[in-house]
Amino acid sequence: MTESESTPHAAVRLQGITKRFPGVVANHDIDLTVVSGTVHALCGENGAGKSTLMKILYGMQKPDEGTIEVEGRQVAFHSPSDAIAVGIGMVHQHFKLADNFTVLENVILGSEPGSAFGLDLDAARRRILEISDRYGLDVDPDPVVAELGVGDRQRVEILKALYRGARILILDEPTAVLVPQEVDELFAALNELKAEGLTVVFISHKLDEVRKIADAITVIRRGTTVATVDPREVTTRQLAELMVGSELPSPQTTSSTVTDRPVLTVENLTVTDADGRALIDDVSFTIHAGEVLGIAGVEGNGQAELVDAIMGIRASTGRVLLESDDISNESTRHRREAGVAFIPEDRIRQGLLLEAPLWENRVLGHQTTEPNSKGGLIDRRHARADTQRIVADYDVRTPSIDVTASALSGGNQQKLIVGREMSGQPRLLLAAHPTRGVDVGAQAAIWDHLRHARAQGLAVLLISADLDELIGLSDSLRVILRGRLVAQADPATVTPEDLGSAMTGAGARAEGAA
C-alpha cells in the first residue's frame, strides 16, 4: 500500500502515447500524470479517445508509441493480467459479473484461493469482509449477483479489483448507470479509497460530477490531451469548452415553424420488460408538423424503449397515431412506409449491415419504396444512383459506394444513415443522438438538414445526450426519468444546468412526481 508522501509522486505517468487503428488515429501524443492517492478525472466527448487510452493502461491494447510508467517503473503490458500484476484494476462500465454466481464466487472467479483440488472459501470470505470493512464498501459476500442493484454490483466490481491487489483503480463512466443517491454512495466510497492511499482514475463526461469528486481533471479532445486543470479553478462551462474546442457550432434554430397539425400523437404508451416492470410508464405527448420535440434524460431511462415502441420494434400498450391513422398495431414496415424515419441510437446494431456495401445499406429500411425497389425486385440502378446522391449531399467520405459499411469511419457511417432516413420525405423522424460521433463540421451539416426538413413540415422526436443540441434544436423539451416524462421545459429559457438537474430527478420532484 502506498502512503501519501509529502512530495507527491506519480502513480501513473503516460508519455507520448499514440495508438493507430487502420485508417484512424485513436490516440496521439497523450501525456498524463496521475498523482498517487488522488482521484484523477479524464474528460472528453464520446469518441475523443478516452476508452482507447484506458484500454492501453489496462493492457487490453498496446500503444504504437509512448511509454507507461507505474509508480516510477516503466512497464509494457501484453494483457490485462500484466496490468493487474502491477496493481491496476478496472471497473468496466458494463459490469463483468456472472449473474447466477454469488458475490463471493464472482470475486474469486479467476483467482481462486486454495489448492487445485479444493477452494478455501472461508479465507476468501474473510478477505472480502476485511476489504469491504476497510474501504466502507458494505459488500455482503453471500447473495447471488442477480439479486443486487446496480450500485451494489458496482461495489462488487470495485471489491473484485481490490481483492486482486489493485492500488490504482480505473473506473469507466461509473456514474452513467447510477441514480443520484447511488452516485453519492459511490463518491463516499471513492473518498474512502483515496484516504487509504489508493489512486483512482475516473472517466466521465458529466462535468458537474467530475468537479465534485476529482482532485485533478485532464481533458481529452480528438485523441490527445489538451489540458490538465484544477477543479477548484474552473467552471463547468470552461471545461465544456475545453472538451469540444472553441469552434463550438451553435445548433440554434432561428424561427419557430411549429404548426397546429399533429403528426405524432402518443397516448398512454407503456412498455414493460419480461418481469412486468415498466420501462416506459404511461407516456403521452404530441408532435406537430414542423416541430422538434426534444427528450432529455440520463441514458437508460427509457429513451431507447420509447423509440423502439413508436417504431413498432418493441411491444407496447397504448395508442400511437400518425396524423389521424392509428398505427399502434401496425408492423415496423408499415410504419416506415407511412413515413416514419428512424436514426437509431446504436447505429452498428440497428442502423447498418456492416458487411454489406454502402448502396445496400441505402436500401436497408426502405426496401419497399422507390427508388430502391420495384414490384418485389431490388432496383439496383436507381438505388445506387440515390446512394451517390446521399454521399454527395451529406458529405459521406468514401471512395465508392461499393465498399462495405465497416470500412467507413463512425462519423461517415452516421452521415450515411442520416441521409438515408431523410430520403423519401418522411413525415416523422425519430432521431436518437443524430450527431453522435461525427466531427464538428458534419454536425453542423446534419443540424442544417434537420432544420431544413423541419421548415418543410417534418415532425422530429429528438433524443440526445448533448444538452446544447437539445436546447438549440428543440421547439419544446420533455425530461424522461425512469420511463416517465417528468418535466417540461421551454428551450428558449432553460439552461443546461436546469435541465441537468431535472434529468437526475432533483428538479423534477416538485414538478412532475404526479
Partner 1 sequence: MSRFDPRRAGMALVAPAMAFVVAVALSSVVLVVAGHAPMTAFRSMFDFGVQPDNVVNIVNKASGYYLSALAVAIGFRMNLFNIGVDGQYRLAAMCAAVIGAAVALPGPLHILLIVVVAVIVGAIWAGIAGYLKVYRGVSEVISTIMLNYIGTALAAWMLTPAVFATLENNIVKTPDLPESGWFPGFATSGGEVYGFVVVSALVGVGYWFLLGRTRFGFDLRATGMSEPAAVASGVDVKKMVVASMLLSGGVAGLVGLPILLGASHSYGQDFPAGIGFTGIAIALLGRNHPIGIAFASVLWGFLDVSNQILDLEGIPKEIVTIMQGTIVLAVVVAYEVVRRWRVNSEQRRVAAQLGGPQAPAAPGPATTAGVA
Nearest-approach distance from CB 197 to partner 1, in angstroms: 30
User: Is residue 465 part of the contact set for partner 1 (CB under 8 A)?
Assistant: yes
Contacts of 284 by beta carbon, 8 Å cutoff, 6+ apart: 266, 267, 268, 269, 318, 485
For the chain, the farthest-separated pair of C-alpha atoms sits apart, in whole angstroms, at: 78
Query: What is the contact mask toward partner 1 in residues 167 to 206, using x (rule: CB under 8 A)?
Result: ------x--x----------------------------xx
Query: What is the contact mask toward partner 1 in residues 221 to 240, using x (rule: CB under 8 A)?
Result: -xx----------------x
Nearer to partner 1, 104 or 461 (CB): 461
What one-character-per-residue DSSP string does 418-480 give?
A: HHHHTTT--SEEEEESTTTT--HHHHHHHHHHHHHHHHTT-EEEEE-S-HHHHHHH-SEEEEE
Name 40's bridge partners. 201, 216
For the stretch 467-470, contacts whose Cβ atoms lie closer than 8 Å and that sit 24 or more positions apart, written own/partner, are 467/296, 467/496, 467/499, 467/500, 468/248, 468/250, 468/251, 468/496, 469/251, 469/435, 470/294, 470/295, 470/296, 470/499
User: Is residue 395 part of the contact set for partner 1 (CB under 8 A)?
Assistant: no
Please count the residues of this chain forming the interface with partner 1, following the rule CB under 8 A.
Answer: 91
Interhelix angle 121-134/150-163, nearest 10 degrees: 110
Under rule CB under 8 A, which residues in 314-343 are in contact with partner 1? 331-337, 342
Nearest-approach distance from CB 223 to partner 1, in angstroms: 7
Under rule CB under 8 A, which residues in 5-44 are in contact with partner 1? 20-26, 44
Nearest-approach distance from CB 247 to partner 1, in angstroms: 12
295: left (phi over 0), alpha (psi -120 to 50) or beta: beta
Under rule CB under 8 A, which residues in 133-172 are in contact with partner 1? none
Among 109, 248, 492, 506, binds partner 1 (CB under 8 A): 248
Per CB under 8 A, the segment of 56-64, 160-168, 224-232, 398-406 that binds partner 1 is 398-406
Query: What is the contact mask toward partner 1 in residues 274 to 303, using x (rule: CB under 8 A)?
Result: ------------------------xx----
Residue 146 is given by DSSP the state G
Under rule CB under 8 A, which residues in 74-133 are in contact with partner 1? 93-94
Query: What is the contact mask toward partner 1 in residues 298 to 317, using x (rule: CB under 8 A)?
Result: xx----x------x-x----
Task: Classify the C-alpha dihedral 238-239-242-248 as positive or negative.
Answer: negative
Nearest-approach distance from CB 258 to partner 1, in angstroms: 26
Among 500, 502, 504, 507, binds partner 1 (CB under 8 A): 500
